[in-house]
Structure 1
Amino acid sequence: MKKINIVTQLSLLERYLISEILPILLFNIVIVTVVTESIGISFEQFNLLLNKHISFENLIYLHILKLPDFIVIAVPISMLMTTILVYNKLSNTSEIIALQSCGVSLYKLLSPVINLSIIIGLILFIGNDFIVPATNYKAAITLESLMNINRESLKNDDIIYQELATINEPKISNKNNYLKYLFYAEKFSNGKMSNVTLLIRDIQGLKVIINSKFAALYDHNKYFYFYDGVKSIINRDGAYGEAIKFEQLIIELPNISQQFQLDREKLDDREMNIFQIYQRLLIGEKLGDMTKIIQLNVNLFKRFNLPISCIVFTLLGSSIGINLQPRIKYSSFSFTLLIIGTIKIFEAVINALILSEHISSFAIFIPNIFATGVSFYLLLKKIS
């Protein structure tokens, strides 16, 4: 079989542009990664070094574990910086004008770097889903171990879950859902929940109240085991009916049990891959936890938004860097900082509005849509 050499399949122009871009891109990724990591964790870790007596070797190990996370942040920004610098340089040396006079269109000038950004975006997407969550989790566990913190013992008080059910007969109510289960445990410790209350309802109202001294969930089961309690039947008029004492009562609560088990993993947004986020999102929708649904949706959309940002920032940087009037000078570095700052502020405002439930989670894509619009506007102006 004849071997295919990818490099020889590229045109002379494509090889030239890629050779100009790659060294600067790698340099920018290193610089931006170092800066973002220094701002992100270095000051905090040096405080740990001084006050918590964590060794310097352990801090270096933590930095290495956090590197993938910061590289992922650095790549889109580096693509923006690189394309502005490279195309601005080509403009200042009149190479773009010379190429256009030879019949090379702006599309041909942009296609190599756009194709490169698509490849880098795909690599970024895969790395952000398979590598970053694992290294973030390892870093968090390592730091917690060094500081004698057990995450399993955190936030185990006042455990509350609700589950909604769909109304199958629309004539009964204007609402689509009703509260079916309300679960409360005062504390979770040593695999058991203490002072547990479960309310069971149907469309007409409250039907059963279960109070038990403790409850447990065994081996990823969907059944809750309630021990040493009372099951109170509620009559149609709302009055207490029969009260049945029990030593053990088993109730099937598949959605609540699955959410409880997922919560025991205590993974934050940066420690979950897409499958884990989606798994929690499905359960959150069944339980009707809107705050959690919004947070998970934002996290999920950000995973897809990242490779898109890589492509959009490349297009934006190229459209800004191409200057068909070389006599007009501007500082590429200052312009890059201004753009990055504006985009990050825009993203922060969008995130705040989403989390406050003022706009849809899909608004997370607005900054990229806006940047794409600006890019095409600038390119159309330079073509005309």
Structure 2
Amino acid sequence: MKKTLYRYIFNEIPPPFLVGMVTFTFVLLMGRFLKLAEMVVEKGVPFGDVVRMVSYLLPSFWLFTIPMALLLSILLAFGRLSGDSEVTAMKSCGISLYGLFPPPLLFSVLAALACLWVQVYAVPWGNSSFKKLMLDIAQSSAGVSIKEKVFNNAFPDMVIYADGLTPKGESMTGVIVHDERDPKAPTTIFAAAGTLFSDPRSHSMEFQLKNGSIHRNEAGAGYRMVQFQEYILRVALTDPTPKGPKKTSEMTMDELRHPPAGTPKKEVKLRRQELHSRLALPFSCIVFAFVGVPLGIQNRRSGKASGFSLSIAVILCYYIALSGFDTLGEKGILPPLLSAWGPNLLFLLGGGYLFMKTAAEEPLPLTALYQRVKEAVRTRTRKGAKA
């Protein structure tokens, strides 16, 4: 009997979970769509490369969409069961709310394990693959983005003009290059012809210019002009050896766990906080199970739209608390363990309170206030319609 009941409740959760995953992931991707479309239309990046970029970005989005979709699925599943009076029928058979909790708890544990796998393995793979692909795109499409008889800004702090060029953009004639990488000595180069080459080893592009002149205006040295028959202009696409310390958000789990000898205490605390934060975020899936079940039952016949709005409200409150605790941890007010796990502990206590109140069939304070406000709005609407 219990196996059949548990299977029935468990099967209610995956469909809205998948809908939530697709919806929330699409919403997060909308902010990137304009930039991706610009890369396809203006810079000539192949559509296949754009699809690969999106696939590499997905793991970082899944860290947030998995807990959001889990909360939404539990709210909608138990909202439907409660709205169709199935929860009441189960209670009449002697099954309490505690007896209905194992299926959503099991699903939340599976979601937490999936989120942990994404955090430990998928996100580092996606970030490294995305950076490599962006570098390959910059090397392969720099020439494609240069258009003839147009002032192009394909490279940072540089403007390139070509009177004529081949279809692939590698060979050019009537070349003008204005270089402002050194603000103190802006340079303008005129060349009769030029060829563009990529150098993957040094992560740079080379302009091999022929039969031209270099015009430079240096501060304090005045105007200078140099004529050349052949000149090589190298443009770095990225710095292969970035300067400065590595950010904690870019470190691997092993680097966070084992800082090198001599690391300052402040840096060690930041690494511990980042480590605990990465572990605490997947655990939020289990926390949301305690919050979602009582809220879903109280939601009753409000519908899917109310479930979406309620889940977004809870998620918003959770991430506000997460940001606040994280700030307190960075300032040293809270220890790394408490700053990372504080939001989960706070919402777990709140979810436990809601769960016990719902199990005892006592009305929730917020639910009663919501019903009063709703009835007041309906009454005013009716009076306004009659008037």
Q: Could you tell me the TM-score, scaled by structure 2's length?
A: 0.60
Return the alpha-carbon distance in structure 2 between the equivalents of residues 46 and 270 of structure 1. 28
Aligned to 2:15: 23
- Assess if the C-alpha contact under 8 Å between 1:54 and 1:146 holds in 2: yes
Match 1:353 to one of 305, 328, 333: 328
Q: Are residues 359 and 266 of structure 1, via their aligned partners in 2, closer, same or farther at CA, if it must alter by over 3 Å?
A: closer
CA distance in 1, matches of 2:129, 2:245: 13
Structure 1 position 277 matched with structure 2 position 277: no
Matched, 1:57 2:48: yes
**Cα offset for 1:335?**
1.6
* 1:59 partner amino acid: V
Q: How many Å separate the matches in 2 of 1:298 and 1:44?
A: 33
- For the 8 Å contact 1:129–1:274, the answer to whether it is kept is yes
User: 2: distance between equivalents of 1:27 and 1:270?
Assistant: 30
350-359 vs 110-119, which moves further: 350-359
Residue in structure 1 matched with residue 223 of structure 2 by the alignment: none
5+ residue gaps, structure 1: 1-8, 150-261
CA contact under 8 A between 1:77 and 1:340: conserved in structure 2? yes
Report which of the two structures shows the higher radius of gyration computed on alpha carbons. Answer: 2
Name the structure, 1 or 2, with higher relative contact order (CA <8 Å, separation 6+).
1
Residue matched to 1:112: 103
Equivalent residues of 1:132, 1:271 under 8 A apart: no
1:297 to 255, 264, 272: 272
Change (3 A) 1:338 1:313: same
Partner of 2:262: 286
Q: Distance in 1 between matches of 2:64 and 2:312?
A: 15
- CA distance, structure 2, for counterparts of residue 98 and residue 367 of structure 1: 35
Deviation of 1:377 after TM superposition, in Å, equals: 0.7
Provide the C-alpha distance between the structure 2 equivalents of 1:336 and 1:287, rounded to a whole number of angstroms.
41
Which residue identity is paired with 1:357? G
Q: Secondary structure at the match of 1:358?
A: coil
Between the two proteins, the alignment pairs up a number of residues equal to 258
2:112 maps to 1:121: yes
Partner of 2:85: 94
Cα 1:59–1:267 shift into 2, 3 Å: farther
Deviations 1:122-150 (A, max 9, x none): 2321232122211211112221342359x
Please, what is the CA RMSD of the aligned residues? 3.0
Q: Mind listing any 5+ residue stretches in structure 2 that lack a counterpart?
A: 141-240, 361-387
Change (3 A) 1:327 1:307: closer
| Alpha carbons of structure 1 residues 327 and 144: separation in structure 2 relative to 1, 3 Å | closer
Q: Give runs of aligned pairs for residues 1-384 of structure 1, distance below 5 A.
A: 11-39=3-31, 41-49=32-40, 52-147=43-138, 269=248, 271-279=250-258, 282-283=259-260, 286-288=262-264, 290=266, 292-323=267-298, 326=300, 331-362=306-337, 363-384=339-360
Structure 1 263/117 Cα, relative in aligned 2: closer, same or farther at 3 Å?
Answer: farther
TM-score by length of 1: 0.60
Q: Find the aligned partners of 1:29 and 1:327 in 2 and give their Cα distance.
A: 23
Q: Deviations over 1:229-272 (max 9, x none)?
A: xxxxxxxxxxxxxxxxxxxxxxxxxxxxxxxxx98898655554
Instruction: Report Cα offsets for 1:306-365 as digits up to 9, x if no partner.
Output: 221111112211121123x95888922222221111212221222222223332222121
Match of 1:190 in 2: none
Deviation at 1:87, TM superposition (A): 0.7
Cα gap change, 1:267 to 1:44, in 2 (>3 Å) = farther
- CA gap of 1:145–1:328, structure 2 versus 1, over 3 A, is closer
